[in-house]
Amino acid sequence: MSDEINIRKEGRAGRITLTRPKALNALSYDMCLAMEDALDAWATDDSVELILLDAEGDKAFCAGGDIQKLYDTGRAGDFAFGRRFWRDEYRLNAKIAEYPKPYIAFMQGFTMGGGVGIACHGRHRIVCDSSQIAMPECGIGLVPDVGGSLLLAKAPGRLGEYLGLTGARMGPGDAIHAGFADHYLPDTGWDALKAELIETGDATLIERAASPAPDSPLAAAQPAIDTLFTAETLPDLLKALESDDTEIAQSTLKKLSRNSPLSLACTLDIIHRLRATPSADIRHALDLEYRFTHRAMEHSDILEGIRAQIIDKDRQPNWQHDPTTLPDAAVSDMLAPLGQDALTFDKEG
């Protein structure tokens, strides 16, 4: 595992460093399992007072999950690997959200998809000037997962719908405003803060070290976004965007036109369900997401989306539905309860 992830104890910290900078620290299945084993061991280790998560390289903390094997197995008709990957990854996401000790993530560069899942559910989430955080799953025929749907549902106003459906990237100010990060600190100060955290085990040092957050363009655009995204269904949303000639409406419409209609409609439904449930927590969100991902290889656009965006890179996906004629049953079928196949959080499951 040394070529993918470096797990060790230093001082009072349990340290996890992603070590695949050439692959933008893409999260593999083995990395998920190794992280979970470490977190389990450290939860009851009195010598570990906090968890410190970071990554090598300047371009990315973690640009997402390593989806090559998902694509290869899915194309071969093997749906079991994807289901197992998502199930075990989601268990890790829940464990991070519920972790009993301070869990601190330093997110430089791209933090997307699976990277959000291992960083943004922690108690202390630190960004810098290069940080670019996003949930771009609708562009490959998936839905925002790894618990990201809960973050989107809790974002101010209708930002969750906007971010989840467009996959828009958030800089540091935006990420803090939307609830995906807590503190801004220029990366020139990261090494000193990490050293203090390792030496002292005192997570309160983070707030003292942090700088004022940069401005958030999203916050400035929020009144317009809130108005545009009041629609309850995808067809109604598209009509609202088409009838609005403002720049933000037209740019949003252009972004949505590239993404999977099935993914867009399911994402909208998931966010609305979570927001309508005041008691919704990480496990509730992951359960909803898994209903989609369990069925994804067989019934969604994910294989075509990965082909178009990642494999062939022709950026010309042939989605199975048209956004204006997407059947209601397509969404309800993807998000129906899974019965005996429902997500569990049992490590032996």
How far apart, in whole angstroms, are the C-alpha atoms of residue 30 and residue 36? 10
CA angle 261, 273, 320 (to 5 degrees): 15
Look at residue 2 in the predicted model and tell me its pLDDT. 65
Give 6: exposed, middle or buried? Use CB within 10 Å, 0-12, 13-18, 19+: middle
Q: What is the pLDDT of residue 349?
A: 47
Q: How far is CA 197 from CA 51, 53, 185, 297, 318, in A?
A: 9, 12, 15, 42, 49
Amino acid identity, position 332:
S
How far is Cα 136 from Cα 154, in angstroms, rounded to an integer?
18
Residue-level pLDDT at 324: 81
Give the residue among 258, 256, 259, 273 at the shortest CA–CA distance from 335: 273
Token representation of residue 133 = 């955080």
Q: Which residues, 6+ apart, have CB-to-CB distance to 242 below 8 Å?
A: 253
**What is the tens place of the pLDDT at every residue in 39-68?**
999 999 999 999 999 999 999 999 998 888
Domains of the chain listed by start with CATH number: 5-341 (3.90.226.10)
Mean pLDDT by 10 residues, the chain (349 residues): 89 98 96 97 98 98 91 94 96 98 98 98 98 98 98 98 98 98 98 98 97 97 96 93 95 96 98 96 98 97 95 94 90 97 85
CB neighbour burial string for 255-292, b if at least 16 within 10 angstroms, e if fewer: bbebbbbbbbbbbbbbbebbbeeeebebbbbbbbbbbb
Judge if pTM exceeds 0.85.
Answer: yes
pLDDT in tens, 230-244: 999 999 999 999 999
Region of residue 48 (left: phi > 0; alpha: psi -120 to 50; beta: else): beta
